[in-house]
Structure 1
Amino acid sequence: MAITDVARYAHLSRTDIDALGAELDSIRVEIENSLGARDAAYIHRTIRFQRALDAAARLLIFSSRSKTTWALGAVSLAVAKSVENMELGHNIGHGQWDWMNDPEIHSNTWEWDMAGVSSQWRYSHNYRHHMYTNVLGVDDDLGFGIMRVSRDEPWRRKWLAQPVRNLLLALIFEWGIAMHGLHSEHERADSDAERSSQSAALMRKTRRQLAKDYLLLPALSGRRWRRTLTANIAANVLRNLWAYAVIFCGHFPDGAEKFTEEALADETKPDWYLRQMLGTANFDAGPVLAFASGNLCYQIEHHLFPDLPSNRYAQIAERVRELCDKYDLPYTTGPFARQFFLTQRTILKLALPDRFLTATADDAPETASERKFG
């Protein structure tokens, strides 16, 4: 079952946890004090690259005279969309670049190129997910309400369809994020008028997205509208699959632990740090894969410091690894393919009734608790 006593699970005393928190706080202060022109140049360079790649991909699609050229254009467009959504939209939405005081590159003004409304996503993601990461019954990202990812969720017959739901979610991931954000806003709304306003905001955003990708741009292509339309569809699906894979690898492979609501009782900032370290997972990546994933290959570091610029996560990761060694904590990571395989294994396995599962509920690869220690 999920972890209730985080300190006991980690074998750390109150003094140890407070010391760990102080060391992580010092990393934050050090990074914040060193932010400057080099970091600003990075985000401006990334924006220019993304926009140039987007324009080049669309030109390639429009001028393509072979299936190979069309495919290259569609893949390039998918990469451009992924960079915009993950390295730009996601990270800017976290406030990673608010320190620059640039009105364009700010969490309150950047609207990403996908179906969901950025402001709705910021509440569901930045607050509900990051504050309560992997806490059962609180973090809606645990299975997104449509999948069983922990044995703490009782098995029901509907979970037999989980493999199909999983595939559909991957294919239409941007729409899942959009509905996820709207659901969170509806839950916190105080009136029907507020809920209607949020629904209308999502409808306006989705209409713009659909019109841009599937009406306006194909229409501007004239007689070549079909290749533009199909390329846009392909690019959006590829972007959805990639975003799904990256995000799921950060939260559902073996070693990304789950927690009960009781674990939140009297939680301090150092306790929160510890829970984030235990509840997230990385995957190994060089500079290219890291950039393509929005630096979410460093999910542990991102959850510790969600509002620090993503270009610093590789630097921070070295320090976090050292702290994990010092305090005998797991640093959950592995090759991308392996992390993805473990994630899919868990999703497929938990579609089955518990009687088909072999490991105990307190010591399974996908779900462990302090009770496994006796």
Structure 2
Amino acid sequence: MGGGGQQGEPGSGKAAGVYTWEEVQKHSSRNDRWLVINRKVYNITQWAKRHPGGSHVIGHYGGEDATEAFAAFHPDQNFAQKFLKPLLIGELAATEPSQDREKSARIIQDFESLRVQVEKAGLFRAQPLFFCLHLGHILLLEALAWLMVSHWGTSWMLTLLCAVMLATSQSQAGWLQHDFGHLSVFKKSKWNHLVHKFVIGHLKGAAASWWNHLHFNHHAKPNILSKDPDVNMSGIFVLGAVQPVEYGIKKIKHLPYNRQHQYFFLVGPPLLIPIVFNLQVLHVMISRRNWVDLAWYLSFYCRYFYCYVPLYGLLGSLALILFVRFLESHWFVWVTQMNHLPMNIDYEQRQDWLTMQLQATCNIEQSFFNDWFSGHLNFQIEHHLFPRMPRHNYHLVAPQVRALCEKHGIPYQVKTLWRGMADVVRSLKTSGDLWLDAYLHK
């Protein structure tokens, strides 16, 4: 403990302690977690289990400054402060910097100024018409797909076209649920949560609780091994420049990783949604007894089979939805991985929000098609920096983000769509080669 202060009792809400960064950083284990928000020190050891966003998201910041993450994820900070107040145990000593490195402090100050500017400019306000039109074109695609085969028959050509239309609808619904999941549409969080359950459950046949658990962990610590579930490949792939060497030195060979850029096409895009995600969704809903999500999930399949069993029979309907998931999975994997997989993947470096997000993300060039195709996740940088910002405003804040990155010498990468996809394969090959070299020679 620094500054000679007395530590308050955990959960007492009495700010009796004065601490140094060295002391705060000692409390970063699962059974002993402190964090700092706006120079106030909180003991979140017990609260983490009750955190609405999940224990991992808040736990990832144990022993760290969570001020920027707190601002990024919470639309109503005053409301969130009510939960933090009982956890307050003290504050940083007056002699302690807001961050433990001078460069980080300058970046944080400039980024916070940018956040204030975009708030004042109204860039966190959504345009209802945009999201209504987006929802409308999803529903229109679904209706047209069914009307087409019910009216003109179920020939192979019409069935294929139906599957493509349904896969397009499912992919676009995926981008739409992402908007509501990030609380970026309505002012009130409860309305975002409600519509999120409808879109991801009734329109897609998935679960909001499952998505929240995975996706907010990803945003909290993107591309950080052991913290970001999106780079936890369960030994199927080795990613980045650090993990392959570690696996090679330890002689770990679950698969021939030097061939992963080839078998990626067999186990990545084809299987992620039809197999992996479906099993994960069911496991999360049942193991956590989330019956509300299960009801929304079942409502999708009741509606789907009601529409298509009379046309294709039960087995034919199962085959159709499996093929739709197969097509959707390719779309999803390429869009989400081209922004992250070729970027830096490493263990925790305790970096500021701007630096951490820019090392893990890149952008894809803007165009009407790219915006629609990727759900505006071609602006992955801006989305990660401002996860609550409505996506139709990403292009407005992008020039200011780019200028800030140039000021601090932080790379801001923009690629073509095809280069982004090609870099996914290149990065897998590079990582596989690193593994093979370490496996054979170290």
* CA distance, structure 2, for counterparts of residue 277 and residue 104 of structure 1: 27
1:131 aligns with 2:212: no
For 1:320-339, list aligned pairs within 5 A: 320-339=401-420
* CA distance, structure 1, for counterparts of residue 186 and residue 255 of structure 2: 42
Match of 2:233 among 144, 160, 185: 144
* CA distance, structure 1, for counterparts of residue 398 and residue 125 of structure 2: 22
Measured at CA, do residues 101 and 90 of structure 1 come closer, stay the same or move farther in structure 2, by a change above 3 Å? closer
Aligned residue type for 1:291:
W
Is the 1:117–1:178 contact (alpha carbons within 8 Å) kept by the matching residues of 2? Answer: no
Other-structure match for 1:196:
287
Other-structure match for 2:149:
61
Bigger shift: residues 161-170 or 49-58: 161-170
TM-score of the aligned structures, taking structure 1 as reference length: 0.74
Gaps spanning 5+ residues in structure 1: where? 1-12, 186-193, 362-374
Secondary structure at the residue paired with 1:144?
coil
* CA distance, structure 2, for counterparts of residue 116 and residue 139 of structure 1: 21
Other-structure match for 1:160:
256
Aligned residue type for 1:325:
E
* CA distance, structure 1, for counterparts of residue 263 and residue 295 of structure 2: 29
**Residues 311-358 of structure 1 deviation map (CA, whole Å, 9 limit, x = unaligned):** 11111222212222222221122111111111112224434563448x
Give the % identical residues: 22
* CA distance, structure 1, for counterparts of residue 242 and residue 286 of structure 2: 31
**Residues 61-95 of structure 1 deviation map (CA, whole Å, 9 limit, x = unaligned):** 33345544443332222111111011x11121111
1:246 aligns with 2:342: no
Aligned residue type for 1:258:
I
**Residues 226-266 of structure 1 deviation map (CA, whole Å, 9 limit, x = unaligned):** 8766543332221111011101111112xx112322x12xx
Shift of 1:295: 0.9
Is the 2:173–2:199 contact (alpha carbons within 8 Å) kept by the matching residues of 1? Answer: no
Aligned residue type for 1:339:
G
Is the 1:27–1:316 contact (alpha carbons within 8 Å) kept by the matching residues of 2? Answer: no
User: Bigger relative contact order, structure 1 or 2, given CA contacts below 8 A and separation 6+?
Assistant: 1
Could you say which structure has the larger radius of gyration? 2
1:286 aligns with 2:367: yes
Match of 2:112 among 25, 29, 49: 25
Aligned residue type for 1:238:
L
**Residues 266-303 of structure 1 deviation map (CA, whole Å, 9 limit, x = unaligned):** x5xxx122110111122223122212211111111111
Bigger shift: residues 223-232 or 62-71: 223-232
Secondary structure at the residue paired with 1:339?
helix
Bigger shift: residues 131-140 or 315-324: 315-324
* CA distance, structure 2, for counterparts of residue 218 and residue 133 of structure 1: 40
Measured at CA, do residues 152 and 209 of structure 1 come closer, stay the same or move farther in structure 2, by a change above 3 Å? farther
Match of 1:257 among 326, 329, 344: 344
Match of 1:314 among 370, 395, 399: 395
Bigger shift: residues 31-40 or 109-118: 31-40
For 1:69-88, list aligned pairs within 5 A: 69-86=158-175, 88=176
Measured at CA, do residues 351 and 282 of structure 1 come closer, stay the same or move farther in structure 2, by a change above 3 Å? same
* CA distance, structure 1, for counterparts of residue 164 and residue 218 of structure 2: 30
Aligned residue type for 2:242:
D
* CA distance, structure 1, for counterparts of residue 358 and residue 384 of structure 2: 8
Other-structure match for 1:5:
none
* CA distance, structure 2, for counterparts of residue 131 and residue 281 of structure 1: 17
* CA distance, structure 1, for counterparts of residue 437 and residue 362 of structure 2: 26
Shift of 1:42: 1.2
For 1:221-232, list aligned pairs within 5 A: 221=311, 230-232=319-321
Measured at CA, do residues 64 and 351 of structure 1 come closer, stay the same or move farther in structure 2, by a change above 3 Å? farther
Is the 2:207–2:293 contact (alpha carbons within 8 Å) kept by the matching residues of 1? Answer: yes
Is the 1:218–1:226 contact (alpha carbons within 8 Å) kept by the matching residues of 2? Answer: no
* CA distance, structure 2, for counterparts of residue 195 and residue 64 of structure 1: 40
Measured at CA, do residues 182 and 70 of structure 1 come closer, stay the same or move farther in structure 2, by a change above 3 Å? closer
* CA distance, structure 1, for counterparts of residue 279 and residue 286 of structure 2: 13
1:44 aligns with 2:132: yes
Other-structure match for 2:353:
272
Shift of 1:102: 7.5
Measured at CA, do residues 326 and 100 of structure 1 come closer, stay the same or move farther in structure 2, by a change above 3 Å? same
Shift of 1:212: 4.6
TM-score of the aligned structures, taking structure 2 as reference length: 0.64
Measured at CA, do residues 220 and 351 of structure 1 come closer, stay the same or move farther in structure 2, by a change above 3 Å? same
Bigger shift: residues 99-108 or 76-85: 99-108
